[in-house]
Amino acid sequence: MKAGRHIQCLIIGISLLSSVAAFAGSGNFTGSFSGFYAPANWVTVKSGNPAYQNSASVSTAGAPTTVVISGAVGPNTATTTPFSVINYSTTVQGGSVGESESISFSYTFFDPAVIAHDAEVLDNGVFVADLPASGSQFNMPTGFVAGDTLEIQVTSGNLTAPDVLTIAPVPEPSTMALAGIGGIILLWQSRRNKFSRN
């Protein structure tokens, strides 16, 4: 296979990946804190217990790959009420208001107290799902709409060991499919050139 043909095939494969990925679900949140969902477009609100709530935090140092939400800490060996709450929220993107969008992300959650609803997802303030410590991925194909407020919330019992929720991207199915298509195109072009020389 000539070098020029090989480069041409690579360019076709890369173009397919980039162009389709750009159009595939641009309003969806898949755990990547970039573009519309960059940290600057999220809001952090702390509430629940004035004595401890301000020690809760959001670290965006790992963005766009990861964001870490840490619950409040206190000098307590047993859970102390009222619980402290930290809410990390953003507006769901879309082509037009009311357009259905999916929300998905990978996560790890350390929960030292195992309090019910320690980490959860809300839509416009309405509970959608728990993020249990035993889980690894949240996936909601439909239900959120453009213009809604996506909220990721951690509720802590003010212990010395904080609840820690780490959010990370999940691969786009369309991107993986395109990678396969790109590989098929390269293989087909290679075989075609091989037979044309024989």
Extract the tokens encoding 84: 């402290």
Q: Which domain holds residue 58?
A: 27-171
- Alpha helix segments (H runs only) across the chain: 3-23, 173-197
Same structural domain, 105 and 194: no
Same structural domain, 142 and 159: yes
Helix (H, G, I), strand (E, B) or coil at 154: strand
pTM for the whole structure: 0.75
Same structural domain, 190 and 138: no
Same structural domain, 53 and 137: yes
Same structural domain, 137 and 110: yes
- How does pLDDT run along the chain (198 residues), one tens digit per residue? 455 554 454 344 434 333 333 333 468 999 999 999 999 999 999 999 999 999 999 999 999 999 999 999 999 999 999 999 999 999 999 878 888 999 999 999 999 987 766 999 999 999 999 999 999 999 999 889 999 999 999 999 999 999 999 999 996 664 444 344 444 444 445 444 544 555
Same structural domain, 125 and 196: no
Extract the tokens encoding 118: 């320690």
Extract the tokens encoding 58: 């959001």
Same structural domain, 51 and 112: yes
Domain count, the chain: 2
Same structural domain, 183 and 94: no
Same structural domain, 145 and 186: no
Same structural domain, 94 and 105: yes
Could you give the C-alpha distances from 115 to 100, 158, 164, 186, in angstroms and in order? 32, 11, 13, 52
- In sequence order, which residues have a C-beta less than 8 Å from that of residue 130 and are 6 or more positions away? 117, 118, 119, 120
Same structural domain, 144 and 179: no
